[in-house]
């Protein structure tokens, strides 16, 4: 198959076949082949020993019904049955343990492969993929792959071996007795094929509806403040009920399909037909009563594949549906690639846009034929109304997105020709919506430089005017902050983000309205910190704060995706009506 393009090709434990759900699962399972062999041996041995027990029960019946009671023969038969029962226990344990072990190992490998794939995806992918659906695939769908092996394949493989031995052992009584189990097996697989065909779309709908349910849940919880602020609780509950109903209806439909499982009827007919056939042979004098009992015991072995398949195949169908959904995410192509062999020289920080046009998906251009050049070490302010394309312009420099037309160059090299990791290690972005992890303050600051010393972390925090408030916490730099930094104020979060950027010492620094939540008392300190940090590196500032715009070496005025003016503050105040309007608002 053709490998899909990933933004980062992160290390994998082994190569897998992603051409179909079944092949993908098999390519994981085959790496557990020693355990697979143990599990298969346990399944075959368990069924074989049960067949021996059924035959011996028939022999015991002849012994106890004989005119002369043979105590030694009965003891010998009992010993064989006892030994087979003990052996069955060991082999059944091997089968169950083997498949459970495989299930857990495959689940671990699948989770790792999916997580690796998700980290390697571009922001284009993540912006379009609902988080709730991704979480459903990464949790429940992966879990369904586990259940596919145990109890799914565990029961299926175990039960299929029970179909073999009635065929193998029946001819020892009379060759004709092979007819009923043979016909049952043919009809069983025919009915099973029809059953699985009808079950597949139902189980896919079960998994899809569960994903939709998670999307609604994630969106509602993520926007709970908006929901409450707008008093829309009842409306959201009504929408959630619709998703719950869809999932419930799909699950009920699955139950209806399972209730119409035809092999249950076939099993009852097989028992009646087999017993009748054996009794007719007994009446004809071809077999004795003990052989009738033994043969009927062999027919009873068909109950395991019949009843186990009632729910075991549902687990397999759900597992395949889950695997299909996981593959849909992993196989979705990205527009970016790692370019591991690309340009990786030390960065100076020169940035140039040449006739750049960019649009999201098939929408209207967000940037339209934009051209400008920034020298290394310059500070650039990008100004314009909301939605004018300022942030998109910054995202093209570090290849969060790629241009549709034109070129973006860093140090005279097209960013698509750079080694992507090297490009991004030299570019630091501080956004208005700061993301912090549920870890210690020190770990959050050192996120881009995990090996940083405590002194380096504190120096970065001091430069970002964050050291003072960090020291007010009982645990200082080891204080664990809540998810997304909810335990901190907006200004505190942004100062930690500044500290994170200062620590990595990037050649290009981008501040996307990053001081919007800082109070006026702190702003002057932050401005001095940013001014000091901007020395020696190229700095882009996306802001509406005039105090930051004034001291920029170059100001870019963006309107409706077009670059309408460029120059210093004094130049633009004389020559640009658009800039004067922004400045006077």
The boundaries of the domain holding residue 268 are: 21-330
H helices present in 368-440, as ranges:
390-397, 420-425
| Whether the Cβ atoms of residue 367 and residue 392 lie closer than 8 Å to each other | yes
Q: What is the CATH number of the domain that holds 215?
A: 1.20.1560.10
- Answer whether residue 212 is part of any domain: yes
Whether 263 and 300 map to the same domain: the answer is yes
Evaluate whether residue 344 is within a structural domain. no
Q: Please identify which residue in the block is written with the tokens 């400045």.
A: 583
Question: Residue 391: which of 378, 404, 401, 379 has the closest Cα?
Answer: 401
Q: Are residues 307 and 383 in the same domain?
A: no
Residue 175, in any domain of the structure = yes
362 shares a domain with 308: no
With contact defined as beta carbons under 8 Å apart, do 122 and 339 qualify? no
Is residue 339 in some structural domain?
Answer: no
Q: How many domains does the chain have?
A: 2
Gyration radius of the chain over CA positions = 35
In-domain check, residue 343: no
**CA–CA distances in Å: residue 153 to residues 93, 157, 179, 442, 536:** 15, 6, 28, 47, 62
Co-location of 514 and 547 in the same domain: yes
- At which residue do the structure tokens 């193998």 appear? 168
**pLDDT for res 4:** 42
Residue 366 sits in the same domain as residue 427: yes
Listed in sequence order, the DSSP H helices in 436-568 are: 441-445, 454-463, 467-471, 490-504, 520-534, 546-550
Q: What is the CATH number of the domain that holds 531?
A: 3.40.50.300
Taking a C-beta distance cutoff of 8 angstroms, is the pair 50, 301 a contact? Answer: yes
- Give the pLDDT of residue 43: 94
Residue 345 covered by a domain: no
- Final residue belonging to a domain, choices 330, 364, 393: 330
Burial label for 60, CB within 10 Å (0-12, 13-18, 19+), is: buried
Q: Is the pTM of this model over 0.95?
A: no
In whole angstroms, give the CA distance from residue 8 to residue 120: 4
User: At which of 330, 365, 391 does a domain end?
Assistant: 330
Q: Do 326 and 364 reside in the same domain of the chain?
A: no
Do the domain assignments include residue 5? no
How far is it, in rounded angstroms, from Cα 318 to Cα 322?
6
Q: Which of 275, 295, 330 is a domain's end point?
A: 330
Same domain, 447 and 570: yes
Residues for the chain: how many in total?
585
- Same domain, yes or no: 273 and 396: no
Structural domain includes residue 1: no
Token digits for 134?
């991704």
> Is 533 found in the same domain as 496?
yes
User: pLDDT tens digits, the chain, 585 residues: what are they?
Assistant: 334 444 455 556 778 888 899 999 999 999 999 999 999 999 999 999 999 999 999 999 888 887 777 788 889 999 999 999 999 999 999 999 999 999 999 999 999 999 888 887 776 677 777 888 888 888 889 999 999 999 999 999 998 999 999 999 999 999 999 999 999 999 999 988 888 888 889 988 998 898 888 888 877 877 777 777 777 788 888 888 998 999 999 999 988 888 877 788 899 999 999 999 999 999 999 999 999 999 999 999 999 988 887 788 889 999 999 999 999 988 886 555 677 788 888 899 999 999 999 988 777 888 999 999 999 989 898 888 777 788 888 889 988 888 889 999 999 999 989 988 888 888 888 877 777 888 889 988 888 888 889 999 998 888 888 888 899 888 889 988 876 566 787 778 878 888 888 888 888 988 886 555 556 666 666 676 677 667 778 989 887 777 678 778 899 988 888 888 898 888 888 888 878 877 666
**Beta-sheet strand order (sheet of 351-359):** 365-374, 351-359, 405-410, 413-414
**CA-closest candidate to residue 12, choices 117, 150, 143, 125:** 117
Q: CA–CA distance from 462 to each of 314, 438, 456, 459, 474 (Å)? A: 59, 22, 10, 5, 18
Is residue 320 located within the same domain as residue 420? no
Q: How far is it, in rounded angstroms, from Cα 167 to Cα 54? A: 13
Looking at the fold, whether 208 and 244 belong to one and the same domain comes out as yes
Question: Which residues lie closer than 8 Å to 170 by C-beta, 6 or more apart?
Answer: 177, 178, 181, 295, 298
Instruction: Count the neighbouring beta carbons within 10 Å of the beta carbon of residue 563.
Output: 22
Both 375 and 310 in a single domain?
no
Q: Whose CA is closest to 178, among 14, 299, 17?
A: 299
Other CB atoms within a 10 A radius of the CB of residue 233 amount to: 12
- In contact, 296 and 85? CB cutoff 8 Å: no
């Amino acid at each position: 198959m053709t490998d899909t393009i990933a933004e980062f090709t992160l290390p994998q434990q082994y190569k897998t076949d992603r051409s179909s759900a079944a092949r993908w699962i098999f390519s994981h399972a085959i790496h557990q082949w020693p355990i697979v062999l143990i599990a298969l041996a346990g399944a075959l041995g368990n069924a074989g020993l049960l067949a021996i027990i059924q035959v011996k029960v028939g022999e015991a019946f002849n012994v106890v019904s004989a005119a002369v009671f043979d105590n030694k023969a009965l003891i010998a038969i009992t010993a064989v049955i006892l030994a087979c029962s003990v052996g069955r226990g060991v082999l059944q344990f091997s089968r169950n343990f083997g498949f459970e072990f495989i299930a857990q190992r495959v689940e671990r490998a699948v989770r790792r492969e999916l997580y690796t794939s998700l980290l390697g995806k571009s922001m284009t992918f993540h912006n379009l993929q609902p988080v709730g659906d991704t979480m459903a695939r990464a949790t429940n769908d992966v879990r369904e792959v586990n259940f596919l092996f145990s109890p799914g394949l565990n029961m299926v493989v175990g039960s299929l071996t029970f179909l073999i031995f009635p065929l193998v052992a029946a001819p020892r009584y009379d060759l004709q007795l092979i007819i009923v189990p043979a016909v049952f097996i043919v009809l069983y697989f025919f009915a099973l094929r029809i059953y699985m065909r009808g079950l597949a779309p139902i189980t896919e709908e079960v998994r899809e509806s569960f994903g939709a349910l998670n999307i609604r849940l994630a969106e509602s919880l993520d926007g709970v403040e908006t929901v409450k602020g707008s008093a829309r609780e009842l409306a959201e509950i009504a929408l959630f009920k619709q998703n719950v109903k869809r999932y419930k209806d799909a699950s009920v439909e699955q139950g209806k399909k399972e209730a119409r499982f035809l092999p249950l009827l076939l099993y009852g007919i097989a028992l009646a037909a087999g017993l009748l056939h054996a009794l007719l042979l007994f009446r004809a004098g071809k077999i004795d009563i003990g052989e009738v009992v033994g043969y009927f015991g062999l027919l009873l072995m068909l109950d395991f594949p019949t009843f186990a398949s009632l729910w075991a195949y549902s687990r397999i169908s759900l597992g395949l549906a889950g695997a299909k959904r996981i593959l849909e995410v992993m196989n979705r192509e990205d527009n970016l690639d790692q370019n591991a062999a690309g340009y990786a020289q030390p960065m100076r920080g020169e940035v140039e846009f040449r006739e750049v046009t960019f649009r999201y998906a098939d929408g209207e251009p967000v940037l339209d034929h934009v051209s400008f050049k920034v020298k290394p070490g310059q500070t650039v302010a990008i100004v314009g109304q909301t939605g004018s394309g300022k942030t998109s312009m910054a995202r093209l420099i570090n290849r969060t997105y790629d241009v549709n037309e034109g070129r973006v160059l860093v140090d005279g090299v097209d960013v698509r020709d750079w080694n992507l990791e090297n490009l991004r290690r030299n570019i630091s972005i501080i956004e208005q919506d700061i993301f912090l992890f549920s870890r210690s303050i020190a770990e959050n600051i050192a996120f881009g430089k995990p090996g940083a010393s405590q002194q380096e972390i504190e120096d970065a925090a001091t430069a970002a005017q964050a050291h003072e408030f960090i020291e007010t916490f009982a645990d200082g730099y080891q204080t664990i902050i809540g998810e997304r930094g909810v335990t901190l104020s907006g200004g505190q979060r942004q100062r930690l983000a500044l500290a994170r950027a200062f620590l990595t010492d990037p050649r290009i620094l981008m501040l996307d309205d990053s001081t919007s939540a800082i109070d006026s008392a702190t702003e002057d300190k932050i401005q001095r910190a940013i001014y000091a940090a901007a020395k020696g590196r190229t700095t882009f500032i996306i802001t509406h704060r005039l105090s930051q715009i004034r001291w920029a070496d170059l100001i870019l005025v963006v309107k409706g995706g077009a670059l309408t003016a460029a120059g210093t503050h004094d130049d633009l105040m004389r020559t640009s009506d658009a800039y004067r309007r922004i400045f006077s608002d």
